[in-house]
Each structure stands twice: as structure tokens, then as C-alpha cells.
Amino acid sequence: MRHPDFQAQDRSLRKTGPSADGALSRLFDNHPVFMNEPVHRPTHQAAFRALAIHSPDALLSHCTQFAHEILDTLIEKQEVDLTNDYAFALSSRTWAWMLGAPLQDAGQLLAWANAIGALLAFSPAPGCQERASEAAANSWAYIEGLNAQKNAGGVFDITSAELRKIDVEGGPKDAAALLASLAFDAIDGAGGMTANFIYCLLSNPGQFDAARNTPLLISNGWQEAARFAPSLLGLFRCPAQDIPYEDVVFPAGVNILMLYAAGNRDPDFTPAPNEFNIQRPASFPLSFGGGPRACIGRSLAKIQGQAAVQALLERTKSIELLPHQPDWGPTGLMRAIRNIPVKLTGN
């Protein structure tokens, strides 16, 4: 995972996906995860600075405010879906705010992110490629429009300035495409991780009670959920040259699926790995990668998840998980609980 010769997947080897489509290529060609050195590192840093336009305290404050606003509309309803009505509503609203976009556009941003994220299924549904292409074009044009209207809240200008500093051949210049490419991580990835965290707590009543009784465990609980039920199971990597490891040689130029989620359940890495335990000593799950290619949105996802659970516990006297058949979506690199039907009882 941290080996310097493990670079981005070779998208020319794919028969479907971003390499086969112009609008998607524009987005993914500007996403650091698909870049190799020497372009990757400075682009990764530029994207991080764009996401870090707001301080952690300001981000937590706004996430908490959004969580409470959403709960205002959910408390005392007969049935609430904490995945779509809450977790993804929070992640899309947070991303809209970070872009300087009107909050009422959060639902549209979510729909575009979902359409692009559907490509991560191992067997995408018919029409998935076309829908993702349309979403990629629309999300890029939308962010371009925000900049033209001067509603970008500074993030577009910061991203543009950072990209201009990249003096490397082949370096990205398209700030709108970079920000549009990050929308999937900021909405689908973070929202899915929040939903999975909530579901882990509710389906393990003893852990839920521990979080309610000791709110300081929420931070550690998110970390444990990121290990136990990450929303992204892994990523592809492509060795730049043959890499020997023990008695295996990873051949150059071959895409390799690195399943971080499997590593998280390795008993040599974590004792009792199949047990969800928010009081487990702090660990660093593999879910967000490591080294120079580590996920730039990890802190954003954690702040959202903590704010969501904290607000949920503060506003409710009880949360009843209703009978249902858990749906984790189609088999693929994404694994987010599709619905969490509950009955909320307010304080």
C-alpha cells in the first residue's frame, strides 16, 4: 500500500469505465487517485488545500448545525431512513456548503455523485456508463457555473491557484474538473461511512449504549467502524516495475485490486477482528490507504460521522431499529448500507 512503485491503475487496460468516455475521463484525469508521479503528489497537495479551506472547528460547527437542521424534520416521524434521509443528506449538504453552492442544490449534487459511484460495481447495471457520463458533464459544468457567478466561496480560486503552481508536464489545470471529481469522495464515500457507522452502532446495542453513555467514545467508534465496515473496500494499483514480496512477484503493468477491507479483518493486524468494539484501543485502519497516496478526505469523513452520531444521540431518547433485510448494495468496491429504517423518539 505504501510502496513507492505501486502507482495508479492503468485505465487503458479497462474495457469499460472512465477511460472509455470523454466526460468521465475529464473528471478522473483530474483526480489524484488516478495520477502517477511526478504529477500525483503536487495535485494531491492542491486538492488537500482546497478541502482545508475551512478549519476543522468551522467544519465541525457547520456539520453539527446541518445535522440538527435535518433532524428537525425527522424526529417523531413514523419511520425514518437514516442512510438516505440523514447520512447522505448531511454529506451532500456539507459538500454544497464547501463549494459555496446553494444548500438547496445538495440533492442534485448527491444524484450526480451516486451516478458516478455506481461505476464501482463489479457488474454495473445497464445504462450505468451513460448515466455516469451525463453526471460527470453536469457536475463539471455546475462548478464552472458557480465560479462564473462568484458563488464558489473561495474554494475554486484556491484550487485554481494551487494548480497553477504545479510546474510538472501533464499537471492538471482544470479546477472545476478536480472539484467535481472529489464530489464522489466527499458525498458518496463520506455519506456511506457515516451510514455504516450508525448501522454498526444500532445493530450492536451494547456498543450503542456505550456511545450514548460515554460520548467521548464516538471518535474512537468512528475509527472502529472505518475498520469494521468501510464504505470503500479497496482500490486498484499498478506496479511501475516488477515488485518481489516474499515468494510472490507483482508484475509491472498489471492492475492489482488491493482489498483494504480484508486487511482490516486480518487477525494478525487486529485481535478479534470480526467484533465491532468501540472501546478497542485506537488503531489506524487500512481503509484510507497510507503514505503519499492516503485519502485526502479522511478528516472530512470523520468530522461528518462524529457530528452525525453526536447530534443523533443528543436529540433522541430512543432509536428503534425496525425489522428489515440489510441491503449493502451491488458487489463492488463500494459497500454502504442502503437503508437504516428506524423510529426516532425525541427528547
Strand partners, 8: 237
Query: In which band, very low, low, confident or very high, does the pLDDT at 21 lie, cut at 50, 70 and 90?
Result: low
Residues 171-207 have pLDDT tens digits of 888 999 999 999 989 999 999 999 999 999 999 999 9
Residues 275-308 have pLDDT tens digits of 999 999 877 899 998 888 889 899 999 999 999 9
Length of the chain: 347
Pairwise pLDDT comparison (34 vs 70), residue with the higher score:
70
pLDDT at position 7 is: 86
Three-class secondary structure of residue 325 per DSSP: coil
Strand residue runs (E) in the chain:
6-8, 80-81, 235-239, 243-245, 248-250, 256-258, 316-321, 341-346
d(CA 78, CA 261): 35
First and final CA of the chain: distance in angstroms?
A: 46
Residue 78's CATH number: 1.10.630.10
Query: In which band, very low, low, confident or very high, does the pLDDT at 16 lie, cut at 50, 70 and 90?
Result: low
CA nearest 224: which of 300, 274, 278, 265?
Answer: 278
In a domain, residue 60? The reply is yes
In a domain, residue 100? The reply is yes
pLDDT at position 15 is: 57
pTM for the structure as a whole: 0.95
Query: In which band, very low, low, confident or very high, does the pLDDT at 152 lie, cut at 50, 70 and 90?
Result: low
Q: What average pLDDT does the segment 104-122 reach? A: 95
* 8 Å CB contact between 304 and 40: no
* pLDDT at 169 exceeding the cut of 90: no
In a domain, residue 185? The reply is yes
Strand residue runs (E) in 43-142:
80-81
Could you tell me the CA-to-CA distances from 341 to 8, 85, 91, 105, 141 in Å, in that order? 38, 10, 19, 25, 35
In a domain, residue 310? The reply is yes
In a domain, residue 1? The reply is no
What letter does residue 332 receive in the DSSP assignment? Answer: B
Three-class secondary structure of residue 232 per DSSP: strand
In a domain, residue 195? The reply is yes
3-class DSSP string for 239-267: ECCCEEECCEEECCCCCEEECHHHHHCCC
* 8 Å CB contact between 159 and 175: yes
* pLDDT at 212 exceeding the cut of 90: yes
Q: Is the dihedral of CA 101, 102, 103, 108 positive or negative?
A: negative
Domain count, the chain: 1
The residue range of the domain holding 54 is: 6-346
What letter does residue 52 receive in the DSSP assignment? Answer: T
Residues 38-49 have pLDDT tens digits of 899 999 999 998
Query: In which band, very low, low, confident or very high, does the pLDDT at 61 lie, cut at 50, 70 and 90?
Result: very high
* 8 Å CB contact between 86 and 80: yes
What letter does residue 51 receive in the DSSP assignment? Answer: H
d(CA 40, CA 31): 9
